[in-house]
Amino acid sequence: MVLQTVSCSYLDRFYQSNVDHSLFTKTTGTMFTAILIYVDDIFVTGNDLPTITALKNHLGTAFDILSDAGQLGSRPAYFPMERHLKLNDSDGTPLVDPAFYCRLIGHLIFLTISSPDITYTVNLLIQFMHAPHEPHQQAALQLLQYLKTTPGYGLFFSSAYSFQLSAYCDSDWASCFMTRRSTTGFVVKLGDSPISWHTKKQSTVSRSSTEAEYHAIANTSCEIKWLQFILRDC
C-alpha cells in the first residue's frame, strides 16, 4: 500500500509495512526514511534529510496551530508565560466557546513531546479545560506567540555514545492557589541528550518545601529506575 495522503515529490513511494500497518518506509539507493504513526503522533527518522524536511514542511502547512488559532500575525513573545502570573478557576469571564480553548490545548499537549520548554505552561493550562475563562485563553495565546518567536528551538541528540543517566528535579511549593499542592518538574538525560521530562502537580499537599522536594526526588528516582530497565533490554 502506497502512502497517498501527500503529493510532494519527496514523499512519493512510501510503502506500508505488512508487519506493522502504522509503519511507512521509503528506500532510494542508500537513502532510507521511516514514518511511524501511533494514534495521532507521528515519528519520522532516517538518513534522507530532504525527504524528512519535505514531510515536516508538508505537515506544517496542513496542520498549522498558529493558523488554526488565527495567530499568524500575532506579536512576538519571548517567554512561554508572563512572570508571576497566577491563574485560578474563578478569575475573568467564562469563555463563550470553550471548544476552541480545549482544541488549542490538545494541540499544545502533543508539542510537549518535542518542546520541554513549554511543558510547565501547558500543564498549568490543562487544569482549566473543564471551565476555561478569558485569562486562561490569553495565557494560551501568549504561549502560541512564544512558539512563533522560537521556531528553531528543539532537542539536540548527541551522536556520542554514552549510557550514563543523569537527572535534575525541582518543586514549586504550594504553587496551586486552588489546592495548595506543589508542582514537580524533572528532566532526565542520557549522556548529553534529554530523553524524558515531566511536570505535574503532586498528589498530596506538602507541609513544607523540604517535603515537596522529597516528593520530586522520589518521582524522579522512579523515572530513572524505569529507564534503567529499558536500557537493559536494548
pLDDT in tens, 118-174: 999 999 999 999 999 999 999 999 999 999 888 878 788 877 778 889 999 999 998
Q: What's the mean pLDDT in 196-222?
A: 94
Q: Scan for cell 525527504, then name that residue.
A: 51
Q: Where are the alpha helices (DSSP H) in 26-165?
A: 49-62, 65-68, 98-111, 119-126, 134-149
pLDDT 10s digits, 36-55: 887 657 888 888 888 888 88
Q: Where are the alpha helices (DSSP H) in the chain?
A: 49-62, 65-68, 98-111, 119-126, 134-149, 209-233
pLDDT of res. 182:
94
**Res. 100: pLDDT tops 50:** yes
pLDDT of res. 27:
86
Band of pLDDT at residue 4, cut at 50, 70 and 90: very low
pTM of the model: 0.68
Residue 20 backbone dihedrals phi, psi, to 5 degrees: -130, 105
Contact 149/74 with Cβ under 8 angstroms?
A: no
Axis crossing angle, helix 119-126 with helix 98-111, rounded to the nearest 10: 150
pLDDT of res. 36:
84
Distance CA 24, CA 18 (A): 10
The better pLDDT of the pair 219, 59 is held by 219
pLDDT of res. 225:
93
pLDDT of res. 113:
81
Contact 165/228 with Cβ under 8 angstroms?
A: yes
